[in-house]
Amino acid sequence: MACSSTWDRETKAPEQIAGDRRVHRRYPTLLDLRWKLLHRKQVLDAGEGSTLDLSSGGVRFESGRALPEGFNVELAISWPALLHNITPMQLVVQGRIVRSEGGKIAIRMIQHEFRTVGMPADRLHKPFLAPLNGRATLTRIQ
């Protein structure tokens, strides 16, 4: 009887391993980014690229060249949504390179945060309320 249960475990093991074993679901997304290769808080290299896919645990991106596995990298990803429909945002991700195949890099995310980016010039001419002699009036940003 012990032999048959061992046989069952051995034959079922490959079925459990087959397929995508990633913990986090990946979303194919094409977004522009800037990357910095870091080692002991020093920037060793930098460049531009684009994301290939994103998940809550990592990012795969095109860097334009191979990067060394095991090194830390910081990505500044241009986010497609605006904060309050006005201010551009970027997703800043710190992570470790776990795979580098040609110019396609996969990182395991260590930390991430959304940051605002400076206002674009075409948005600077929107009217805002500004005080004038103690009253709020509509004005333009100069």
Mean pLDDT of 86-99: 96
User: Position 15: which residue type?
Assistant: E
User: What is the average per-residue pLDDT within 63-84?
Assistant: 95
Question: How confident is residue 116, by pLDDT bands cut at 50, 70 and 90?
Answer: very high
Give the pLDDT mean for 54-76. Answer: 95
- Mean pLDDT in the chain? 80
Structural domains of the chain, with CATH? 23-119 (2.40.10.220)
Q: What is the pLDDT of residue 25?
A: 84
What percent of the chain clears pLDDT 90, i.e. is strictly above it? 58
pTM surpassing 0.85? no
Position 115 pLDDT exceeds 80: yes
User: Residue 138: pLDDT above 50?
Assistant: no
